[in-house]
Amino acid sequence: MEDFPFPNVVGPKMVAPLDHDRAQMLAFLPRLRRFAFALTGRAADADDLVQDTIERALRSLDRFTPGTRMDSWMFRIAQNLWIDALRAKKTRGQTAGLEEAEQVSFDGRRAVESRLMLSETSRALAALPEDQRAVVALVLIDGLSYREAASVLEVPIGTVTSRLARGREALAQRVLGSATAQWET
């Protein structure tokens, strides 16, 4: 095997061989970005959260147990960092909720131009209380099972299902003007 398998690329940068944990981490990045955007609702905040999560995960990699799920582990890190950041904002007296006028589309264009592009559903998601938003992001958007979501959030499965029920019905109410949203058994 040749030393350098890409002869047509200029200026190769030598990096260490990629161990398996970091290969899994790389593979997970698109889902992490999606999760961060679902939580924060803003492109800039989402990318900050992704960056902070990767940094924290890399620093803590010696505490990751091989054979356990990398995705659950990194979702947990991201979720905790996000909650910490929200608490810090509240402590500093900044508005915790997302003003609709401040939301920018994913590619960073200004809010005024992008309001038409940001969907009703994304705005409804951003308006959910944080605990419901996290569960909706994990179960409805990423597709984790109730058990996996409970493991990420470190809460009982019953807590996941009750937050999920409230979250998805609030979305239905706001997005569809639902008449059945106030479901009673």
Partner 1 sequence: MTASRETLMAYLDGELSAEEERRVAAEIAANPLLNAYVEEQRAVKARLDADFAPILSAPVPERFERMVMEARVPRRAAQRNFFSLTLPRIWLPAGAAAAGIAIGIGLSNLFGGPAMMASNNGALIATGSLARILSTELAAEQGATATTRVGLSFLNRQEKFCRTFQTASGGNALAGIACREGNDWRIIATAASETQNASAFQQAASPLPKTLREEVNDMISGQPLNAAAERTARTNNWTH
Binding to partner 1 (CB under 8 A) within 154-183 occurs at 161, 164-165, 168, 171-172, 175-176, 178-181, 183
Residue carrying structure tokens 């109730």: 146
If binding means CB under 8 A, how many residues of this protein chain bind partner 1? Answer: 75
Options 77, 136, 152, 153; binder of partner 1; rule CB under 8 A: 136
Q: How far is the CB of 134 from partner 1 (least distance, A)?
A: 14
Q: Give least dist CB 24 to partner 1, A.
A: 6
CA atoms of 26 and 11, how far apart (whole Å) = 23
84 near partner 1, judged by CB under 8 A: no
Interactions with partner 1, residue window 3-62 (CB under 8 A): 3-6, 9, 11-34, 37-38, 47, 50-51, 54-55, 58-59, 61-62
Of 80 and 162, nearer to partner 1 (C-beta) is: 162
Q: Which is nearer to partner 1, 130 or 168 (CB)?
A: 168
Handedness of CA 70, 71, 72, 74 (dihedral sign): positive
Beta carbons of 143 and 136 less than 8 angstroms apart = no
- In the complex with partner 1, the residue whose CB is nearer, 6 or 91, is 6
Q: Are 74 and 25 in contact (CB under 8 A)?
A: yes
Contact indicator for 96, 86 with CB cutoff of 8 Å: yes
DSSP summary character for residue 41: -
Q: Does residue number 147 form part of the binding site for partner 1 (CB under 8 A)? A: yes
How far is the CA of 34 from the CAs of 50, 141, 143, 162, in angstroms?
A: 10, 8, 12, 23
Among 93, 110, 119, 130, binds partner 1 (CB under 8 A): 119
The answer to whether 39 and 49 are in contact (CB under 8 A) is yes
Q: Which is nearer to partner 1, 14 or 112 (CB)?
A: 14
**Token pair in block for residue 124:** 């409804």
